[in-house]
Structure 1
Amino acid sequence: MPKQENDILKTHLKGIVQNLPELPGSYQFWNADKEIIYVGKAKNLRRRVASYFHKEVDRFKTKVLVGKIADITYTVVNTEEDALHLENALIKKYQPKYNVLLKDGKTYPSICVTNEPFPRIFHTRTINKRAGIYFGPYSHIGAMYAILELIKKVQKPRTCRFPLTEEGIKQGKYKQCLEFHLGNCDAPCVGKQSKENYQERIAQAKEILKGNTREVLQKIFDEMGEKAEELRFEEAEQLKRKYLLVESFCSKSEVVSHTINNVDVFSITGDKLSKNAFVNYLHVANGTVNQSFTFEYKRKLDESDEDLLLLAVTEIRERFGSNAKEIIVPFHLDWQLENVIFTVPQRGDKRHLLELSEMNGKQYRFDRLKQAEKLNPEQRQTRLMKELQNALSLEKLPMHIECFDNSNISGTDAVAGCVVFRSLKPSKKEYRKYNIKTVIGPDDYASMKEVVYRRYHRMKEENTPLPDLIITDGGRGQMEMVRQVVEDELKLQIPIAGLAKDNRHRTNELLFGFPPQVIGMKADSELFRILTQIQDEVHRYAITFHRDKRSKHALHSELDDIKGIGPASKDLLIKKLKSVKQIKSTDIQTLTDIIGPAKAQLVYNYFHEKEQLSEDYS
């Protein structure tokens, strides 16, 4: 944009901001294409909008937004609550680019009670309010089916789709179906159940769907007593079965306290890596949790948890038609809703409700994360590498990790191994084995120094990319040896970590820094398990190399030292003559019969020349 046009735009926006009222309302930012790119709310419109244009605004995304503003409009309202509702409505209508995104592509099922003369009760994902009353939606399908099954057993609503009318019943238009014979329906279609009795049962079913099970229980109990007094014991027994069914269902619900009624609970779980937030909503009626949902929100401008929770409270309460007068939240919200109290509980039943909500939000986040990582395995590696980067305060993402380990028995056949992991996956083609050359005896520190020097001196000379992190299979001592080589001798800057073991030889600490400090990380965490897997892999690799070397020495024969005699000739000689001692004393003709003249001469000369040399030196 030319400087002159930019100056004109700045003057225009400044004039709008200066003339904004100091009243609650909603504001809208427009771009040059006449599109709404952001909708906000404010208790004080002038103060809130002016904050976007302060020089000290250092958030990159906010600066990008401000750079695209071509015009500002606003709507004044009477209360803070109206500002919240207006913001929510405008966001839904215009879907602005820079507003929080509700990542909810699901249509949850609800339970419908039709408004027919003889209502039906069924679950559906299609909402048509003219067809009847809807309860839900239900995020937990199992819970929905449990309620439907209870209503089916206790109230026995019809399942047929006949358009039942009293006139049609009187005219005998309908026939009783199999459900009647199975005891699942009392056949109002043929007049075996009156309309009044049927509708009374449907009314009780609605109370169950509303969560008012205590009222239903009391009504069934009173009716059961009346039948018993009238000596109608069979009917009383049927009511008793219904009572026990409802009571059993209630016992499986999350009961908090019968003194808590009609309360909403909200909690928020943040995700710093993906900029997502998960808001859980619980509704409590008669001390029982009867609704539980978690919604995922995508931050666009690094919105605070307070901003997200306010948006969620407004949107979710509107979606579920909640009229609860008390809302339990995890922290104080600097906004007011008419006839609503925000509570931040510290203890007791309400605190238990908040913890239950937080637990559900965290579980939902965990499930979504696992689902995403199952579809895209690389996402898991990236998440864990970011966790490691944050834990160790590394400048770079640790894409390339190398780990070392030594192996020897009393200093004999001393070897070392280096394993390479890229994106936390083993890169076996880059594994390296080392025979210890300069160290005599069992000196692990000196062996580590030799191997690390050989490894990184060569990489430095060949200009090979260095690792982002070195992990030693050992504690402070091993780390110091590696540091002396890498930093002091080779003048390289590579972060070094160590995995230390406890007195039971179990890895229990991650060390980092100089002097090394213990990094706070749970030993049963996913990241710590990955690090111990790297440690186990280098240990396995070094041990295997050491065993192979020992086995080779144990199976070594003097025949292996004779040039020109391969495994096949060696096997033939051992098979026929049984031992090296017998081969030594065998004449040339016998050897020729076994392996041919040329190879026989090689074997004969090797042993007899060796004997001659021994005699000369004796």
Structure 2
Amino acid sequence: MTFDSKPILKNLPNLPGVYRMINAQDEVIYVGKARDLKKRVASYFQKNLPSPRTRMMVSHIAKIETTVTRSEAEALLLENNLIKSFMPRYNVLFRDDKSYPYITLTGDEFPRLAFHRGTQRKGNDYFGPFPNSVAVRESIQLLQKVFKLRTCENSVFANRSRPCLQYQIERCTAPCVGYISVEDYKHDINHAALFLQGREQQVMDELSEKMSAAAERMEYEMAALYRDRMQSLRQVQARQFVSDFNVADADVIACAELQAQVCVNLVMIRGGRHLGDKSFFPKNADGCDMETTVQAFLEQHYVAQAMPPLIIVNVAIETAALEEVFTEQVGRKVKINTNPTGDKKVWLKMAQTNAKLALQQRAAQSANQQGRLLALREALDLPETTERIECFDISHTMGEATVASCVVFDRGDMQPAEYRRYNITGITPGDDYAAMRDALTRRYKKIAAGEGKLPDLVFIDGGKGQLGIAVEVMREVGLPDILLVGIAKGEERRPGLEQMFFAGRATPVGLKKDHPGLHLLQQIRDEAHRFAITGHRARRAKARTHSSLEDIAGIGAKRRKSLLTHFGGLDGIKNASVDEIAKVEGISRMLAEKIYQELH
């Protein structure tokens, strides 16, 4: 039945807001924003829609819901949140990269130079974002070499009695043991901050003045120190600075298409330095033009994200509304340039080349993975419909902090968003069979109930015993038809000698070391192992760093910190008397007695 839009359009206001297109199954299939809701929604119901994709979407509309907002900027934020929540079929979707890495200079008396990802804290200075963690760590190494700033944790810094190796290799001035004054260290911190802000010439000028002054005072060792620091800075400039770019901070964005696949490449320039680039591959971009794709990227990428004053793109899009929204969002002017000239055009061409190369590499990898999957089907006599493969592994240290992992291979590639970990409790420590039973039961009970996708093939990292457990679980949950394969490691656990066990077959199957199907199996198995062991290590580390103070009622983070600072650690608290504990600020006599009893 054709959707009648007239009653909806009649009551829509000429105000900014967000609209949601919903199909007959009550699924949100598209989310959009508008400066004028009435005009924007009405545009979908014209007689001659130019885009086949839009016509297809409109044919599935069963109802429309709208939300009025105070401004277009607010509409953009709401639209982005709704897209993340509903993942609509007809919205171009980009991966949410809210956790870009930054360099931070902490607000301590002797500030620490550190890698940071996540929520930013007051009192610290942050520089970035960087496209990846490698770029951050390389920059930290350069800053250490030039400015000799500390990178150690505060717990280590506070308990040093002599300089560490970083001082010996001239990467730190050892503020932990007083080898540098607060004032001199502050100068180094200021120089590092200026450098990260792109004001490197100011740093060079100050260092040059200090070198000359030291030479005049005949402090030649100090003058040589400043000279060496200037030489190091010049080397960094030669390696990283964009000498022909007249804007300190900018993002260069290029979109490219190859064989119906789309890629958006983002080049980041911060403080006049080329920090690197990152490629994004959107979902649901079939049939979309480049303008729509770039528009979606800008809206989804920069909402609640730090942005530079200049954004350069290779597609002619309407920029006025976005510039207005972004300017309001960051509180300063943001310019989107769709027709760059000179050096900016050169950088845009480089971003386009990056996008095309990323597409070519992805196409080659996809073809390779498809070939491996075909080889695996033939070798194991699997149905031609075998596409989705799940693999399970167990990780623990002598039964401690047992974690099971499930990784997914589908649509020709690993699917990290669908990976799952299971913390295993309530079993005999070290019982891998019980751990596997627990993980499989939890996973496939939900799938049997209709939650999630049914796999075509399940790999179990283990031999006949593990496979037997998997067969029992599948019968219990009502999924006996799923094909199960146990992967046993070869002699001396050497790769290439794996054997595969099938339910109902007496003899295992082995593949040659150079068999493409074996390479796919190893890739999936190794990914399951990696995912399990990282989860296990995190759980084990958390358990081992858990303080027994956390289990005492009435002891929160603030009191715990006061106690540990006062006594220098948990052992100090254990050795203290009730009277000594009660002297700590915020600890009453009654609470001191409770702490003493809990720790003894």
TM-score, with structure 2 as normaliser: 0.54
Matched, 1:263 2:250: yes
How far has the Cα of 1:66 moved from its partner? 2.9
Q: Does 1:343 align with 2:337?
A: yes
Deviation, 1:269, is 1.0
Matched to 1:293, the amino acid is: K
Give the 5 Å matches for 1:153-232: 153-163=145-155, 174-232=161-219
SS of aligned partner of 1:50: helix
Go from structure 1 to structure 2 and tell me whether the alpha carbon gap of 1:256 and 1:373 turns closer, same or farther (over 3 Å shift). farther
Deviations 1:188-209 (A, max 9, x none): 1111112232233223223333
Q: Give SS of 1:102's match.
A: coil
Name the CA distance, whole Å, in 2 between partners of 1:130 and 1:341: 28
Deviation at 1:371, TM superposition (A): 2.7
1:296 corresponds to 2:290: no
CA distance in 1: counterparts of 2:354 and 2:232, whole angstroms = 28
1:282-293 correspondence runs (5 A):
282-285=267-270, 287-293=272-278
The answer for the alignment partner of 1:545 in structure 2 is: none
Please give the alpha-carbon distance, in whole angstroms, between the structure 2 residues aligned to 1:36 and 1:143.
Answer: 39
**1:330 corresponds to 2:314:** yes
2:227 aligned residue (226, 240, 243): 240
The residue matched to 2:13 in structure 1 has which SS?
Answer: coil
Report the Cα distance in structure 1 between the residues aligned to 2:154 and 2:71, rounded to whole angstroms: 50
- 1:82-125 superposed Cα distances (whole Å, 9 cap, x missing partner): 54444223312432233112146896644343333323223355
> Which residue of structure 1 lines up, in the alignment, with residue 90 of structure 2?
98
In the alignment, is the contact (CA less than 8 A) between 2:18 and 2:32 conserved in 1? yes
Across the aligned residues of Structure 1 and Structure 2, the Cα RMSD in angstroms comes to 3.5
- 2:50 equivalent to 1:50: no
- Kindly indicate whether residue 355 of structure 2 is the aligned counterpart of residue 371 of structure 1: no
1:356 is paired with a residue whose SS is helix
Query: 8 Å contact 1:117–1:164 — kept in the other structure?
Result: no
C-alpha distance 371-190 of structure 1, shift in aligned 2 (>3 A) = same
Partner residue of 1:151? 143
CA distance in 1, matches of 2:79, 2:94: 14
Matches within 5 A, 1:102-501: 102-103=94-95, 109-123=101-115, 129=121, 132-139=124-131, 142-163=134-155, 174-253=161-240, 255-257=242-244, 259-273=246-260, 276-285=261-270, 287-300=272-285, 302-318=287-303, 320-324=305-309, 326-336=310-320, 337-338=323-324, 339-345=333-339, 347-377=341-371
Pick aligned residue for 2:67 from 27, 51, 75: 75
Distance 1:241 1:283, change over 3 A: same
Deviation sequence 1:436-488 (CA, Å, 0-9, x none): xxxxxxxxxxxxxxxxxxxxxxxxxxxxxxxxxxxxxxxxxxxxxxxxxxxxx
Letter in 1 for 2:318: D
Deviation at 1:304, TM superposition (A): 2.3
In 2, Cα distance between the equivalents of 1:307 and 1:84? 15
Change beyond 3 A, Cα 1:346–1:138: closer
Which amino acid counterpart does residue 87 of structure 2 have in structure 1?
Answer: Q
Equivalent residue letter for 2:237? C
- Using the TM superposition, give the Cα deviation of residue 285 of structure 1 relative to its aligned residue in structure 2, in angstroms: 4.2
Count of aligned pairs: 365
Note the residue ranges of structure 1 that are not aligned, 5 or more in a row.
1-5, 381-618
CA deviation profile, 1:361-386 (whole Å, cap 9, x unmatched):
22222232233233223899xxxxxx
Alignment of 1:504-543 (within 5 A): none
Q: Does the CA contact (< 8 Å) of 1:257 and 1:287 recur in 2? A: no
Q: What is the CA–CA distance in structure 1 between the aligned matches of 2:365 and 2:275, rounded to whole Å?
A: 26
SS in 2 for 1:29: strand
The alpha-carbon deviation at position 81 of structure 1 amounts to 4.9
Structure 1 CA distance for aligned equivalents of residues 196 and 272 of structure 2: 15
**Alpha-carbon contact 2:129-2:306 (below 8 Å) kept:** no
Question: What secondary structure, in the 3-state scheme, does the structure 2 residue paired with 1:99 have?
Answer: coil
In the alignment, the residues of structure 2 paired with residue 106 and residue 42 of structure 1 have an alpha-carbon distance, to the nearest angstrom, of: 24
- For 1:370 and 1:105, how far apart are their aligned partners in 2? 25
| CA distance in 2 between partners of 1:315 and 1:164 (Å) | 40
AA aligned to 1:245 is: S
Amino acid at match of 1:363: L
Q: What amino acid is the match of 2:142? A: L
Unaligned runs of 5+ in 2: 325-332, 375-600
Residue 156 of structure 1 deviates from its aligned partner by 1.4
- Provide the rounded CA distance (Å) in 2 between the counterparts of 1:153 and 1:58: 58
Q: Give the match for residue 465 of structure 1.
A: none
CA contact (8 A) 2:198 2:248 kept: no
The one-letter code of the counterpart of 1:51 is S
Are the counterparts in 1 of residues 14 and 36 from structure 2 also a CA contact under 8 Å?
Answer: yes
CA contact (8 A) 2:149 2:189 kept: yes
Is 1:17 matched up with 2:9?
Answer: yes
Q: Could you tell me the TM-score, scaled by structure 1's length?
A: 0.52
**Contact preservation (8 Å) 1:174, 1:190:** yes
Q: CA deviation at 1:355?
A: 1.2
* CA distance, structure 2, for counterparts of residue 34 and residue 115 of structure 1: 51
Measure the CA separation in 2 of the matches of 1:317 and 1:15. 35
Counterpart of 1:222 in 2: which secondary structure? helix
Distance across 1 between alignment mates of 2:112 and 2:50: 59
Report the structure number with the largest CA radius of gyration. 1
| Counterparts in 2 of 1:260 and 1:17: CA distance versus 1, 3 Å | same
- 1:329-360 C-alpha deviation (Å, 9 max, x unpaired): 22332231123333233531121121122122
Structure 1 residues 396-428: Cα deviation after superposition (integer angstroms, max 9, x where no partner): xxxxxxxxxxxxxxxxxxxxxxxxxxxxxxxxx
From 28, 41, 45, give the equivalent of 1:36. Answer: 28
Q: Secondary structure at the match of 1:18?
A: helix
CA contact (8 A) 1:110 1:134 kept: yes
Aligned residue for 2:365, secondary structure, equals helix
